[in-house]
Amino acid sequence: MAFYKLDTLSLLENKVLMTVNDIMAELQSFGDEKIKTLLLKHGVKEPFFGVKIEYLKSIQNNIKKDYQLAKGPYATGNADAQYLAGLIADDKQMTKADLQTWVEQALSNNISEYTVPWIAAESNYGIEMALEWIYSDQPHIAAAGWSTLSNTVSLKPATNYLFQLCAS
């Protein structure tokens, strides 16, 4: 197994290991005021840097999937970091508690209506969380619930979920 130490970045079998501080510094370096202005007009809430999706994808390609690491950037509350966390999270390892924490902290519409729902829908708890969230009195959580429900039904065999819906 090859292991090379590169300052704060390490390369272990072609996977870049980063810390939350490394990620936040990289996101900040990719921030673009024009993108930030555009995203503000579309409902993204501070804090965030205005990072283009293409740069988030390049960071994702270096990290791959990392359940533990994804929790750190998400917890910062920075919308760019939360979006990236959704890209690197391992949906199958997400717990109900993780998903609930993420939906509660998803204050920007791009996170509550896209990032959290796609992670929840691919998790082991998609339908359960969706049905709980749609009844929330908090608009961002209810929106996440409806998005999760539609994502889950489109991603998983409908008959299983229709049966679960009827049985609830």
Give the tens place of pLDDT for each residue, 20-76.
999 999 999 999 999 999 999 999 999 999 999 999 999 999 999 999 999 999 999
Domain boundaries defined on the chain: 1-89, 95-168
Confidence at 102, pLDDT banded by 50, 70, 90: very high
**CB neighbour list of residue 51: distance below 8 Å, 6 or more residues apart:** 27, 30, 31, 32, 35, 80
User: Mean pLDDT lowest for which of 8-17, 26-35, 85-94, 142-151?
Assistant: 8-17
CA 164 to chain centre: 26
Which pLDDT band, with edges at 50, 70 and 90, does 154 fall under?
A: confident
- Global pTM? 0.84
Are 20 and 73 a contacting pair, CB within 8 Å? Answer: yes
